[in-house]
Amino acid sequence: MKRYKLWTQFSDKFASRMHAMEARIGRIEKLERPILERRKMDLALNGWRGSNQVLELDNVKKVFAHTSLNAQDRIILNNINFLVRHGERVGLIGANGAGKSVLLRLVLGKEQPTNGEIKIGPSVKVGYYAQEHETLDFNQTLIDAVRLAGNMSEANAVSFLIRYLFTYQQATQRIGSLSGGERSRLQLALLVLSGANFLLLDEPTNNLDIASAEVLENALNDFNGTVLVISHDRYFLDRTVNRIFALENATVTEYVGGYSDYAARAQVPVNGQKTG
């Protein structure tokens, strides 16, 4: 385009060609812009206020007994104490195998602590996003999953799924046929229908594209509830959380702020290991 503009100084033919090209580009931009905008999820997490004390861990210990006679039992969590209040966004970080997912399973009641007590506040409804999508029924169709979760008609289920970038054809398919990113979007859709005010999220951005991850960030920032999220995505943590729980050597250390605040206080190298 710059070259054409230079040539117009010497030729009327090039001037008319440049104007035609500018008009064509303008028409293309008008067509492409709404298409790009439509490709963002319409995600709104409608939380609500329950009790002020949402989650409390009191001297929680988790030990995995070793099957070998000569091997020692493995202590995953050792005397963990913390309190999460309404409205807080907590990022749970730590090396792979540190016990982050175990802690979430304890909160969900899927496992029991060896010692200690886990308390969920009254009027608190938990919603869970599973990293491996194990909460989804892969033999179910998308429409059936949404109809069951939201108690809605087929037409309303299809309209709801369109907001999460699914076509009608995809809505009629089995969940097992979806890609990782599509399963992630479906999990977020079902999380909305759950009506939860306390979200437990295990690596929610792993399979999302950049646009969908940004939509999730904005939705969490607008969420009138409480969030506990496992993530290795430092940018995501900086955008969404106001407390960091660092899990290391079976204990939790608390930091105020996002990942960058944690890194500065804990003197974590900029190019250090992943936190997830």
Domain boundaries, the chain: 2-38, 53-266
Q: How many C-alpha atoms does 208 have within 13 Å on its Cβ side?
A: 25
Round to whole Å and give the CA distance between 10 and 215: 49
Taking only the tens place, the pLDDT of each residue in 226-253 is: 999 999 999 999 999 999 999 999 999 9
Round to whole Å and give the CA distance between 1 and 30: 19
Q: Which of 62-66, 67-71, 245-249, 263-267 holds the top average pLDDT?
A: 245-249
Q: What is the pLDDT of residue 275?
A: 43
Round to whole Å and give the CA distance between 113 and 83: 17
Query: What CATH number labels 53-266?
Result: 3.40.50.300
Taking only the tens place, the pLDDT of each residue in 137-180 is: 999 999 999 999 999 999 999 999 999 999 999 999 999 999 99
Which of 257, 191, 265 shows the shortest CA–CA distance to 223?
Answer: 191
Average of pLDDT values for 73-77?
Answer: 88
Amino acid at 243: R
Residue 168 CA: distances (Å) to CA of 136, 155, 165, 189, 204: 19, 10, 10, 15, 25
Taking only the tens place, the pLDDT of each residue in 209-223 is: 999 999 999 999 999
158: number of Cβ within 10 Å: 19
Q: What is the pLDDT of residue 21?
A: 55
Looking at the chain, the number of H-run helices and the number of E-run strands are 10, 9
Round to whole Å and give the CA distance between 211 and 181: 12
Q: How many C-alpha atoms does 157 have within 13 Å on its Cβ side?
A: 21
Evaluate the CA torsion angle 14, 16, 18, 20 in order and state its sign: negative
Q: What is the pLDDT of residue 22?
A: 59
Residues 120/86, Cβ–Cβ less than 8 Å? no
- Regarding pTM above 0.95, the answer is no
Q: What is the pLDDT of residue 170?
A: 96
Residue 48 pLDDT class (50, 70, 90 cuts):
confident
Round to whole Å and give the CA distance between 275 and 211: 23
